[in-house]
């Protein structure tokens, strides 16, 4: 799995990270609510180079979990991470979630930058030893339910977001795609 291999090379993480990613994917594949759970695979020139998952938080009805954002080093610098996150957030809004929560670790600086850029707030930090290294786990949340705007920008149209929503791949610049995960039977 590319995710585990890349993080082993970049951060020295062991195979327990790859096992966690596999567990998340298996749980998604075994799920039964395509209206509330979705996954996207980013491709570049026919090669898989990234992914993101949006799944229901089993502990909180109104909360979606953003899971396993990944962009392969060969595809970085093309705004794929931004587009994957935006697609995930648009889906979460459409699916009726009130908030999105994610858990990450301190070395993932580029991802953290993208989360903060979209308005996520750090709500918890905790040191831990996982994946063979000492880390600081970080939980971020983004409230999707917003209050009505007032002032000069009230009523302005939101910026467009490309979203696959299960209707095939969302075409992006340069021939990249962000396609939804396979439908469930």
| Each residue's pLDDT tens digit, 58-115 | 999 899 999 999 999 999 999 999 999 999 999 999 999 999 999 999 999 999 999 9
Q: Is residue 57 part of a domain?
A: yes
Q: Is residue 172 part of a domain?
A: yes
Indicate whether 21 pLDDT > 70. yes
Q: Is residue 153 part of a domain?
A: no
Q: Is residue 156 part of a domain?
A: no
Q: Which residues lie closer than 8 Å to 17 by C-beta, 6 or more apart?
A: 3, 4, 7, 8, 130, 131
Centre a 10 Å sphere on the Cβ of residue 87 and count the other Cβ atoms it contains.
24
Question: At 131, which CATH number?
Answer: 3.40.630.30
Q: Is residue 150 part of a domain?
A: no
Range of the domain at 64: 2-145+161-180
Q: Is residue 69 part of a domain?
A: yes
Q: Is residue 154 part of a domain?
A: no
| Each residue's pLDDT tens digit, 163-182 | 333 333 443 333 444 444 44
Q: Is residue 152 part of a domain?
A: no
Indicate whether 6 pLDDT > 80. yes
| Each residue's pLDDT tens digit, 143-158 | 997 655 555 544 433 3
Overall number of domains in the chain: 1
0.75 cut: is pTM over it?
Answer: yes
- Are 170 and 177 within 8 A, CB to CB? yes
- Are 93 and 36 within 8 A, CB to CB? no
């Amino acid at each position: 799995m590319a995710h585990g291999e890349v993080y082993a090379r970049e951060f020295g993480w062991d195979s327990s990270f790859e096992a966690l990613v596999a567990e998340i994917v298996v749980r998604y594949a075994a799920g039964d609510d395509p209206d509330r759970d979705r996954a996207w695979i980013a491709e570049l020139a026919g090669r898989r180079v990234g992914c993101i998952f949006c799944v229901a938080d089993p502990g909180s009805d109104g909360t979606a979990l953003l899971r396993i954002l990944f962009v392969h080093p060969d595809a970085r610098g093309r705004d794929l991470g931004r587009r994957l996150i935006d697609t995930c957030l648009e889906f979460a809004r459409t699916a009726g979630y009130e908030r999105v929560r994610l858990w990450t670790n301190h070395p993932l600086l580029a991802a953290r930058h993208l989360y903060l850029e979209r308005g996520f707030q750090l709500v918890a930090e905790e040191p831990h030893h996982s994946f063979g290294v000492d880390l600081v786990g970080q939980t971020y949340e983004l409230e999707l339910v917003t209050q009505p705007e007032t002032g000069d920008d009230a009523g302005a149209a939101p910026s467009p977001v490309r979203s696959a929503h299960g209707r095939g791949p969302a075409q992006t610049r340069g021939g990249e795609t962000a396609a939804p995960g396979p439908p469930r039977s």
